[in-house]
Structure 1
């Protein structure tokens, strides 16, 4: 979990590294916390940006909600890592564990239920972790993702900044880990649909959106193949991808075509092996 200057330089450009150094010296890190190896921080720029890094991960697995669209990590991430180079924040993991162990089971349940009642995203992850199938349809998931586009730049139709889709990718991952591939496929499909239909609004941070689209599409193919080798299910999944080739954003048509071909091949191979 050691942070080295060379390690930080490896994940960013020289110019970004220098800007990160400046941000650190200007005391722009407003908050910084750590639980286990995960460091979360708030860094002040043109607005307040949230940053997450994993000190135990290869390349630190950085994330920031700023609009940076260049190569490597952004200056906010670099500033946080350089702060950890000087002084790693105290680990609050033991304190969290102690509080959980000391909590009364009924009080803990009441607290969790109250929190879940007002946080739909967290509630869906709870259902995914503890044995429930998805409670939201593709259309409902899609509507929530579409709202994120509308909320990102409410005064304009065009979206200039990246959007954090981790809420939905984390949900899909949770379903996959629980073996609920059909539910995961629904999440990936909603992401792919929304990104496809909203791509014409994007004017900046192209890597953010194109990477999210490719990840969603690949996840859909994997989970649709794993979820259902029945004829009807196979036809529905492939039909969705082929329909998008014709109706979706023209420059994404090739990706949908590739995905349809890959899914058809996986379904055929799976059927032959049964």
Structure 2
């Protein structure tokens, strides 16, 4: 998709477009890089916001960490697109490919082991990519999600801005790609619980958190269905959803009810047989 003024204007309101022009003129784009068709950038506003674009996607599939929840793209995305309209940065993937071809196996192994030693999230992704089931429990993953809420706006009792849950969604997708549905369901359930329990803290960017919750809930149901866990284990998953429908956040209860009904229907499980599953 070509990056033109008309294409950018189609993605945002006139007011946001003007703000994007201002941000570009003020030099607020702190970092800008390209890897294949993915653009990553850091744009300064009330704080620094990470964002990504996909040059191959319709509408560029912009993702920004700012709290904007209005129509269309935000000013940070517009500023970056306006910058890209003047020319794309060099594709770093070409240099990476050259280095990978030149490096020896032992060098690469040593490099990755060093990175994995201090980055548990990367370690989880590596194991998932090569088909190893997760050893993380829902509670362990939940603790990390809770910390994300605690570390956002630490001076306040509420959360004003979006939280990036991509590492959890990426991990779940890695497991799903290898048909490790039980592991993927564990990650999705941790997200569902974490978002449900912390939703009362949200005082801004409601759409962001609601969309993350629904994505995790849909992923959870899909993985339980695809995993063909059997009547007894499926029953436990349905009970979890039903219990959350009663005890969870008021705002999300109807979603839990629908998910429980969908899971029962898609697994064709008769509740009267659960005790015997």
- TM-score over 0.5 for the pair: yes
Deviation at 1:36, TM superposition (A): 0.6
Match of residue 275 from structure 2: none
Counterparts of 1:171 and 1:15, CA distance in 2 = 37
Match of residue 155 from structure 1: 155
Match of residue 51 from structure 2: 51
Counterparts of 1:113 and 1:72, CA distance in 2 = 42
Mapping 1:165-244, distance limit 5 Å: 165-244=165-244
Deviation at 1:212, TM superposition (A): 0.5
Unaligned runs of 5+ in 1: 270-274
Mapping 1:78-157, distance limit 5 Å: 78-157=78-157
Deviation at 1:251, TM superposition (A): 2.1
Unaligned runs of 5+ in 2: 270-277
- Compute the TM-score of the two structures, normalised by the length of structure 1: 0.95
Contact 2:53 2:63 in 1 (8 A): yes
Contact 1:35 1:92 in 2 (8 A): yes
Match of residue 2 from structure 1: 2
Deviation at 1:4, TM superposition (A): 1.9
Deviation at 1:89, TM superposition (A): 0.8
Counterparts of 2:249 and 2:30, CA distance in 1 = 41
Deviation readout 1:128-185 (Å, 9 max, x if unpaired): 0012101211111111111100011112221111111111111111111111111111
Counterparts of 1:195 and 1:98, CA distance in 2 = 42
Counterparts of 1:73 and 1:128, CA distance in 2 = 33
SS at 1:31 equivalent: strand
Question: Which 4+ runs in 1 deviate beyond 2 A?
Answer: none
Deviation at 1:6, TM superposition (A): 2.0
Deviation at 1:47, TM superposition (A): 1.7
Counterparts of 1:76 and 1:108, CA distance in 2 = 36
Match of residue 60 from structure 1: 60
Match of residue 23 from structure 2: 23
Match of residue 75 from structure 1: 75
Larger displacement relative to structure 2 (189-198 or 38-47) = 38-47
Deviation at 1:3, TM superposition (A): 1.3
Counterparts of 1:68 and 1:137, CA distance in 2 = 33
Contact 2:131 2:175 in 1 (8 A): no
Equivalences, count: 269
Deviation at 1:71, TM superposition (A): 1.8
Counterparts of 1:201 and 1:237, CA distance in 2 = 26
Contact 2:192 2:213 in 1 (8 A): yes
Counterparts of 2:168 and 2:141, CA distance in 1 = 9
Match of residue 251 from structure 1: 251
Contact 1:65 1:163 in 2 (8 A): yes
Contact 1:229 1:267 in 2 (8 A): no
